[in-house]
Structure 1
Amino acid sequence: MTQHSPALAQTPAPLSPQQLDTLNQLLAGSSEAALWWIAGYAAGQAAQRSPVAPKPVATAGKRLTVAYGSQTGNAKAAASALAQQAEAQGLAVRLINLADYSLAELGREQFLAIAISTQGDGDPPDDARIFLKQLASARAPKLTDLRYTVLALGDSSYAKFCEIGRLLDQRLAELGGQALSARADADLDIEQVAAPWRASTVEAAVEAIGKSAATVTLLRPAVAPVTHAASRSQAVVLANQRLTARDSELDVRHVELGFVGPALRYEPGDSLQVRVNNPTVLIDEFLARSGLDGEVKVERGDRRHSLREWLHSERELTRLSLPLLNAILAAHPEHPLRERGAALLETHQVPDLLAAGRIDWDAARWVAELAPLKARAYSIASSQASVGDEVHLTVAVRRDEVAGIERLGLASGHLAALAEGAEIEVSVEANPRFRLPADPGRDLIMIGPGTGVAPFRAFLQQRLAEGASGRHWLFFGHRHLRREFLYQTEWLSALKRGQLQRLDVAFSRDQPERRYVQHVLAEQAREWVSWIDAGAHLYVCGDARRMARDVEQALIESIARIRGIDAEAASDELDALASAGRYQRDVY
């Protein structure tokens, strides 16, 4: 694309020489992915500013429908970018949330692109739950006239990476759909995969539909502009306190940060991304075990760094990815850890694979296969209405022992060691599908075992600051009451003051039989179901691998028992609550 920039300079343009020079400088220094993003963003801005009146919506056969299922907004942004790019190429486009998309519409569709996320280890986004359940049923229509494509978003540190997008692709094919372009699976560095997917999808759609559809175009207000990435900021440590008892096996921290310079804005329910580089000791271990020279230069794309520099700030060492693991086991079928498979993702780091068996890759291969280094996200445990220009986190320090070596989580280990006055780089990750109700009179049921309680501390602070009249019910669980009752003093004080109406807890190891929060939910079902009937909003936050599924099963079984209905009907009721924004989850 940069080859054509001189032609751009020779073409008459409604830009001043200074603007044109700035544009050419920007394009010359941009990667291919960035160029596609700029193109989509510019198209969206032009679409919004156009004075031309909206035209009628195209029929299903002459348009590209772009649908999305999104939890935190990433899939929605990806779908919006595709819609903008397609419309800029003269296509009629319809952008729609899967929550508003019916099987009847799907049955009439001819050209469809879907961007959809996978939450945690294989869960669908809340706004796609009903659609996906219906699509899996016998009521799903035959789709022999459909050409479709899927952009699957996920996190490759989970074994079920992009599982929802993969299953959706499989189901559409089972129903007779044909590929418009190949499914693309995007890790947390979404744009690296999304940009070429958009390009191939738009090219295929233009060829299949034809630009004649440009006379019947999308209602422009339906296409949201792509937003800029969250601003980064430096934050200084104001407090770093251990919440768990000294004799607890678990180290959970309450970390208070103050923004350096202009404060970032956040809402209850958002997360804070913490950016940390790999520690030198881990890089040295990797180099020693691999036998590679850290000073050898490696070029990838338009960047050239020493291997040590790549490992320091560009590549993951503490978190395995599924693509990396598959590549290693494919290249070394005799590797001693082969039988462990995807289970390694939960406990092992990259040096552990090298310690267990030789991996004969050169520096360039390692840089190509290692996942990009990502920020770590933590649910924010404070409300700015209460703490001002501060942000509070609840951090469980990740510790695993592999072959006698203690492995710490990258960010949690770093945060735990920070003294007051230390600085770190942070950014806010918005979570629009984990929000307080607009009506302050609505009741809240909050289920947050372990560090999943963090956002509910923010929720309660916000509601108290607003003078909300709704009731609050917290379900909390951990191992031991004495050792791991996080924020115990705050919850008991709120309960005494009438700011928290109900507090139910489960400490799994304080009695011979394991007792978890789902057991308490079952015991209190009649009461919390009555809260739901009165309009309460239901929230779940915490571990996706086990807790979230056990809790949801308890919710379904409890609703079925109290209402005298079967599990399928109870599940449908929960899906309806999710669709209405009254059942929200933040699981990880």
Structure 2
Amino acid sequence: MIPEHAPFSPDQRQALNGLLAGFDPSQRWWLGGFLSASSGMPAVAAAPASKTPLTVLYGTESGNSEALAAQTVKAAKKKGFKAVLKNMADCQPADLEKVENLLVIVSTWGEGDPPEAAEEFYKSLMESEADFSKVKFSVCALGDTSYERFCETGKQVDARLEKLGGQRIAPRVDCDVDYEELSDQWVEAAFKALAPEPVAAAPVAFAAPAVAGVEYGKKKPFPSELLDKVLLNGEGSMKETWHYEFSLEGSGLVYQPGDALAVVAKNAPDMVEGILSAAKLTGNEEVVLKGGETKVLADALREDLEITVLSKAILKKLLAVAPSDKLQALLGDESKEELKSYLWGRWIADAVRDFAPNGLKADELVSIFRKMPPRLYSIASSPLAHPDEVHLTIASVRYEFDGQPRKGVASTYLADLVEKGGEVELFVQPNKNFRLPASDETPIIMVGPGTGVAPFRSFVEHRGESGSNGGSWLIFGDQRYSYDFLYQLEWQDHLASGALSKLDVAFSRDQPEKVYVQDKMREKAAELYQWLQKGAHFYVCGDASRMAHDVHEALLDIVEQEGGMSSEEATEYVAQLKKEKRYQRDVY
């Protein structure tokens, strides 16, 4: 829009605004260049760059905080700030004492924990006595409202910076998985607080617009063809694990071993029918979604909204549209034990039946949901071995609650609703915290039970294709050898070719006593420690609640035992592995 202070009359501004509204970006660029050239004005802005310094600090688990931080730095530079990007993994609180302006973007992982790579910084900050009295700051916390301790890391960092003397220049924002709108508002508020007066933009040369075409990513997922799906478990298994192959041809999407693939799922018809029945609605009602789009309710429930996962945040929204003394009492439970018990296993439809027995209006129902978040899965293929393809290894989640069948949204969407040749929307989510060593000569140890083996299929394929001479050791575990040895023939081929140097397996239910991957680590303690001493990188992928903890404890014990160290020395040794990025985890 032409601003009022521009040298045009009101009628001229109105005419120009009407004309420019009909132009696309390339037309506006051409017109700007043409007018500059025809008037003899230089094609490069001559305003000096602002000297306002800005540090954007991030702590990331899945990559969202890093991506948002990078976007913030880019936007800051366009505003004229002298902006730099810093990773919590690469700095200490004391490094920030002399920072004048600080924006922090940090995610919360699991039950209120800091991101894996930011653990040391977080711990140091909580114990630090650094002087932040000259630091102006603001915090953007990323999290997931389905967890009890929503955005806990961001809240703690925000409070600690204030306690150390920092001056908060914009309120902290706590963002759910659909964070873009709120984080954009936070960025603008922070920029305005740091530079209330208009700042001069840095010199910018006119450049041609990007070549016309679609750029696929989070904002526009790629509609990929499902090339193949194979059930990996044998008949008689208690598990249902699928191997999926998707086409990336024409997408422009690229990935590296260790990255994740985000799948945009749709809710199953029975899930949609369940919530409609609970709310006493037909599904034919029209609703307005966040952003202003109008849709038929049933379509919105299937395509746009998270309609199953029940959380405290959802219950609060339900209470707002359907007042209930019973629900009020549940939310007010100080011990939280009753609330935790209620949330376990139930879906949103159960809560609607329990606390809104007379049903809800369509707009009331929609108001309690959040946008359907994409599901992230570790990529199970190497781009060198499978050009224009990406593979996943996913266990279908199915269980019963109160005699009723329940299931995971994305895992059963792929298993039940998408056939070979069907279309699935997806995009790549980089994970820079889970990478192969820079040198192919560096040995690697991979611990991955169940579907946790997925990224290691990618690692081994990649090393096989690149002709690596570095040792590769896989420790895999599952329930039964006969039914659950995922990718067994492939591992045998990799052993024969040399892409995989060593394979140890632990099948927990093939003998009276249960044997797990951490038990195999202890059996091979001396050899494992020798690999570490030779510079091996140690990787873990899989369940965070028990497996990752047990593997970590086994690693500490092995280092203490085989290295002849004290408990404190072993802890420091393993911490150093993390600092050197030789100990990396992809756990969930």
Q: Normalised by the size of structure 2, how large is the TM-score?
A: 0.82
Of 21, 24, 27, the residue aligned with 1:22 is 24
Aligned partner of 1:232 among 217, 221, 226: 221
Residue in 2 that maps onto 1:372: 371
C-alpha distance in 2 between matches for 1:168 and 1:86: 22
1:350 matched residue in structure 2:
348
Aligned to 2:187: 198
1:501 and 2:501 are equivalent in the alignment: yes
1:118 maps to which of 94, 108, 122: 108
How far residue 319 of structure 1 moved from its aligned partner, in angstroms, is 2.8
What is the deviation of 1:465? Answer: 0.5
Match of 1:523 in 2: 523
Paired amino acid for 1:93: A
Residue pair 2:538, 2:583 contacting (<8 A) in 1 also? yes
Structure 1 unaligned runs (5+)? Answer: 27-48, 219-226
**1:492-571 equivalent positions in 2, closer than 5 A:** 492-571=492-571
Larger Rg computed on CA atoms:
2
Work out whether residues 217 and 427 of structure 2, in 8 Å CA contact, stay in contact via their aligned partners in 1. no
Instruction: Confirm or deny that 1:406 pairs with 2:405.
Output: yes
- Mark the CA change 1:234 to 1:24 in structure 2 (over 3 Å): closer, same or farther: closer
CA contact (8 A) 2:314 2:369 kept: yes
Whole-angstrom CA distance in 2 between matches of 1:344 and 1:579: 41
Structure 2 match to 1:248: 237
Pick from 265, 272, 292 the counterpart of residue 281 of structure 2: 292
CA distance in 2, matches of 1:340, 1:332: 16
1:443 aligns with 2:443: yes
Partners of 2:545 and 2:243 in 1: CA distance:
24
Cα contact 2:228–2:245 (8 A) shared by 1: yes
Identify if the C-alpha distance between structure 1 residues 93 and 537 changes in structure 2 by more than 3 Å, giving closer, same or farther.
same
Residue 182 of structure 1 corresponds to which residue in structure 2? 171
Distance in 2, Cα, partners of 1:5 & 1:244: 68
How far apart are 1:53 and its partner, in Å? 12
1: CA distance, partners of 2:567 / 2:232: 39
Matched, 1:308 2:298: yes
| 2:428 partner amino acid | V
Q: For 1:385-400, what aligned pairs fall within 5 Å after superposition?
A: 385-400=384-399
Cα displacement (A) at 1:263: 6.5
CA–CA distance in 1 between the matches of 2:60 and 2:528?
A: 28
* 1: CA distance, partners of 2:324 / 2:447: 44
Whether contact under 8 Å (2:260, 2:376) holds in the other structure is yes
Look up the equivalent residue of 1:375 and give its one-letter code.
Answer: P
Which whole-Å CA distance do the structure 2 matches of 1:407 and 1:276 have between them? 16
Write the letter of the residue equivalent to 2:409: L
CA distance in 1, matches of 2:398, 2:238: 10
Q: Which moved more, 1:180-189 or 1:462-471?
A: 180-189
Structure 1 counterpart of 2:386, one-letter code: V
Tell me which residue corresponds to 2:383. Answer: 384
1:107-186 counterparts in 2 under 5 A?
107-137=97-127, 139-186=128-175
Change (3 A) 1:406 1:21: same
Q: In the aligned structure 1, how far is the partner of 2:4 from the partner of 2:580?
A: 48
Within-5 A mapping of 1:208-227: none
What is the rounded CA distance, in whole Å, between the counterparts of 1:582 and 1:11 in structure 2?
60
* Matches of 1:155 and 1:502, distance apart in 2: 39
1:269 paired residue among 258, 274, 280: 258
The structure with the largest helix share of the pair is: 1
Change (3 A) 1:104 1:347: same
Deviation at 1:466, TM superposition (A): 0.5
What whole-Å deviation, never above 9, does each CA across 1:460-492 have from its counterpart, x for those lacking one? Answer: 111101100000111112222233221222223
* CA-based RMSD: 3.8
SS in structure 2 at match of 1:386? coil
Q: Which runs of 5+ in 2 are unaligned?
A: 29-42, 204-214, 332-336
Q: Taking structure 1 as reference, are residues 329 and 172 closer, same or farther at Cα in structure 2, changes over 3 Å only? A: farther
Distance 1:427 1:67 in 2: 25
Secondary structure of 1:166's partner?
Answer: helix
User: Residues of 2 paired with 1:371 and 1:344: CA distance?
Assistant: 20
How far did residue 370 of structure 1 move? 0.6
For residue 483 of structure 2, what is the aligned residue in structure 1? Answer: 483
Residue of structure 2 in register with 1:46 after alignment = none
Matched AA of 1:515: V
Kept in 2: contact 1:152–1:183 (CA 8 A): yes
Cα separation, partners in 2 of 1:115 and 1:349, compared to 1, 3 Å: same
What is the distance in 2 between the residues matched to 1:491 and 1:400? 31
CA distances 1:426-482 after superposition (whole Å, capped 9, x unpaired): 222222222212211111111111101011111111110110000011111222223
What one-letter code is carried by the residue in structure 1 that aligns with 2:449?
P
Cα pair 1:538 1:582 within 8 Å, conserved: yes
Query: How far 1:355 moved relative to its partner?
Result: 4.1
Contact 2:216 / 2:222 at 8 angstroms: preserved in 1?
no
Q: Displacement, 1:584?
A: 1.9
Partner of 1:239, secondary structure, is strand
Change in 2 beyond 3 A, CA 1:272/1:92: closer
Percent identical among aligned pairs is: 37
Whether the 8 Å CA contact 2:266–2:413 is kept in 1: the answer is no
- Which deviations, in whole Å up to 9, do the C-alpha atoms of 1:140-196 show, x marking residues without a partner? 324344432211122333344323222322332343434222221222222122111
Q: Distance in 1 between matches of 2:519 and 2:195?
A: 55
Q: 1:86-134 CA deviation, whole Å, 9 max, x = no partner?
A: 4444444333222332332233344321111223444433432321222
Q: How does 1:20-169 map to 2 (within 5 A)?
A: 21-23=23-25, 63-137=53-127, 139-169=128-158
Please state whether the residue corresponding to 2:301 is helix, strand or coil.
helix
Whether the 8 Å contact between 2:472 and 2:499 is mirrored in structure 1 is yes
Distance (whole Å) between structure 2 residues aligned to residue 552 and residue 54 of structure 1? 53
How far apart in 1 are the matches of 2:243 and 2:387? 17
Q: Who is 1:319 aligned against?
A: 309
Amino acid at match of 1:149: S
Which whole-Å CA distance do the structure 2 matches of 1:244 and 1:480 have between them?
10
What secondary structure sits across from 1:453 in the alignment?
helix
Give the corresponding residue for 2:31: none
1:495-552 Cα offsets, whole Å, 9 max, x none, are 3444322222222333444432223223333322221221111211112233223322
State whether residues 115 and 151 of structure 1, in contact with CA within 8 Å, keep that contact through their aligned partners in structure 2. Answer: yes
TM superposition shift of 1:394: 0.8
Residue 459 (structure 2) pairs with residue 459 (structure 1): yes
Match for 2:415: what amino acid?
A
Structure 2 Cα separation of the partners of residues 256 and 344 of structure 1:
38
Q: CA deviation at 1:342?
A: 4.4
Offset, 1:6: 12
SS at match of 2:287: strand
